[in-house]
Structure 1
Amino acid sequence: MALSLDSVQLLMKQLDGSGISYASGGSGLLYSLGLTNQVHDWDLTTDDPYEDVAAALHGWSWTQSSSGDHPFASSYRIHVADQRLPIDMIGQFAIHSQYGICRLPALSSFEWQGIPMGSPEIWAVAYALMNRKPKADMLFSYLQQHNANQDILQLLLAEPLPDFLRSKLLSLI
């Protein structure tokens, strides 16, 4: 069965019309890079304020929830109901590390099927901080083979990262 993009593309059109910036990460990013064969949901990160995103979602069925249990430290999470694949809007994506809160900006690195895809560098760090080692390792391996974005690496190195993660990023420079 082909991956249905109808709902996420319709939502993106509405977000674009409201001036909301966003980038898709999670399993959608892994799928777009050919690292997995299944998308479980759409994770759209945004740095825009909750009020702006909520206003942009008129006509959609959605609920707001906390950003999740520790280690998550994002400002908000909006779950958009969809019968095919759920869509989560994650506001000001952030994750706790042992040294503080790591802010993970909603930067788009490329477009896939009309969808702005998030930074593999940012999602490698996010998965490592979430203790999702297989996914983090897949992205770090991808980055070793495909020239990591040096500007994004520098941005991430300014965050309070654990030593093992800082070393992984430094190996990509």
Structure 2
Amino acid sequence: MPRTPPFETVRALQQALAVEGVLSVVGGSGLLVSLGLTDEAHDWDLVLPPGTVEAVERVLAAKGLGAQRAPGGHPRFATEALFTVDAGDHSIDVLVGFAIRTDDGVVTVPARAGASWRGLVMARADDWAVAYRAMGRDARAQLLEGAT
């Protein structure tokens, strides 16, 4: 049986964003678990298209979710905004305009819907294979490339 953080908060956040007209998808280890490629996720990664920062801030405030916006940038990521939501016993990373810096330039990771799983809209495996390659996490990329 796969081990994941509870679904309630990430599901409610994704649904509230959808009401605002903003598509969000779950990627990262949650995507791997949904595809049966690994058996554990410690947190959720929610990816949104660029230009949706204000909608995220409105939804987080309306839901009363404690979230920290990462100040400045991370040298490895070119993401428009990163919010870390405290969901009690786990966290939810909300990535607006997810992008990764590589030696060859910036790789953007689109927020495109794949399958549904347990009431969540999941990311597309091929998008996250590209993301993991750009991050140098080749073993995870290979798992996803085999799933597409």
Q: Tell me whether the two structures share a fold, i.e. TM-score over 0.5.
A: yes
Hey, what's the Cα distance between the residues in 1 that align with 2:121 and 2:54?
Answer: 22
For residues 89-168 of structure 1, what are the structure 2 equivalents within 5 Å?
Answer: 89-143=94-148
Partner residue in 1 for 2:68: 63
Determine which structure has greater relative contact order: mean sequence separation of CA pairs < 8 Å that are 6+ residues apart, divided by chain length.
2
Question: Among residues 34, 37, 40, which one is paired with 1:35 in the alignment?
Answer: 37
Greater Rg, structure 1 or structure 2?
1
The CA deviation string for residues 121-171 of structure 1, in whole angstroms up to 9 with x for no partner, is 11001011101121111111222xxxxxxxxxxxxxxxxxxxxxxxxxxxx
Partner residue in 2 for 1:161: none
Report the Cα offset of residue 29 of structure 1: 0.2
Gaps of 5+ in 2: none
Q: Does 1:49 align with 2:52?
A: yes
Gaps of 5+ in 1: 144-173
If the length of structure 2 is used for normalisation, what is the TM-score?
0.88
Hey, what's the Cα distance between the residues in 1 that align with 2:130 and 2:101?
Answer: 11
Greater share of strand: 2
Report the Cα offset of residue 83 of structure 1: 1.5
Hey, what's the Cα distance between the residues in 2 that align with 1:33 and 1:84?
Answer: 23
Partner residue in 2 for 1:153: none
Hey, what's the Cα distance between the residues in 2 that align with 1:99 and 1:46?
Answer: 24
- Amino-acid identity (%): 34
Aligned length: 143
Helix, strand or coil at the partner of 1:77: strand
- Tell which deviates more after alignment, 74-83 or 6-15: 6-15
Report the Cα offset of residue 67 of structure 1: 7.5
If the length of structure 1 is used for normalisation, what is the TM-score?
0.76
Change beyond 3 A, Cα 1:75–1:100: same
Aligned-residue RMSD, C-alpha: 1.7
